[in-house]
Amino acid sequence: MQQPNSEVIGFMANRRSVPAKTMSGPGPDESSIRTMIEIATRVPDHGKIAPWRFQRYSPDYCAKLGELFLQRALELTPDLNEDLQEIERTRFTRTPVVIAVMSAPQDHPKVPEWEQVLSAGAAAMNLLIAANAHGWDAQWLTEWIAFDEKLAEPLGVRSGEKIAGFIYVGTRTMPKTERDRPAIDDIYSTLGD
């Protein structure tokens, strides 16, 4: 007999992200981060390839990366004003915890790369949900830094990998607000009824 889990249904029906720029500390400790990562790996994965990987940046390294983001941003846009420079410098220090989810597809005789990329997206979503389920606020962002070739190496991207996203985890400093969602009839239909 089917047993709905109303607590999980309520959590999923109300879950939402919080902008990283409106978060602060505290954040999860290493032991609960490891639990969240274990939960994040519980995703459909055709062929059991594990075509994803998670990488946390230490707080000290986040500060160093901020200087690199700024340096690179100034290379690309030399006349960046001071406010925008500060945004670059503080990208990775907006929250106490920043974890990259890498999409790491492998050549496989039966499993197309597309399916492996989808599994990486599912893993990133599961990490977001796991962080929220532990009581933390979180946001999945890429921003320009995820696509810049010169930043790939300092960000720890390995050959053949792409950044699926950075999961920022912390504590909100303002009340959560709802955002518009698509109307069900715009995104759901049936064929053959």
Ligand X SMILES: Cc1cc2nc3c(=O)[nH]c(=O)nc-3n(C[C@H](O)[C@H](O)[C@H](O)COP(=O)(O)O)c2cc1C
d(CA 64, CA 173): 25
The rounded distance, in Å, linking the Cα atoms of 108 and 116 is: 10
Q: What's the rounded Cα separation, in Å, for the pair 168 and 185? A: 32
Least Cα distance to 99 among 166, 29, 23, 20 occurs for: 166
Q: How far is CA 39 from CA 128, 152, 166, in A?
A: 10, 26, 17
CB closer to ligand X, 29 vs 142: 142
- Residue among 59, 68, 84, 143 that touches ligand X (CB under 6 A): 143
Contact status: 17 vs ligand X (CB under 6 A): yes
Q: How far is the CB of 58 from ligand X (least distance, A)?
A: 22
> Phi/psi zone of residue 67: left (φ > 0), alpha (ψ -120 to 50 degrees), beta?
alpha
Q: Counting contacts by CB under 6 A, is residue 148 touching ligand X?
A: no
16 vs 64 by CB, closer to ligand X: 16
Q: Tell which positions 160-179 bind ligand X, by CB under 6 A.
A: 165, 179
Q: Closest separation between CB of residue 20 and ligand X, Å?
A: 8
User: For residue 26, is the peptide bond before it cis, meaning its omega torsion is within 30 degrees of 0?
Assistant: yes
Write the interaction track for ligand X spanning residues 103-142; mark x where CB under 6 A is met and - where it is not. Answer: ------------------------------------xxxx
| CB-nearer residue toward ligand X: 10 or 29 | 10
Positions that interact with ligand X (CB under 6 A): 16-17, 139-143, 165, 179
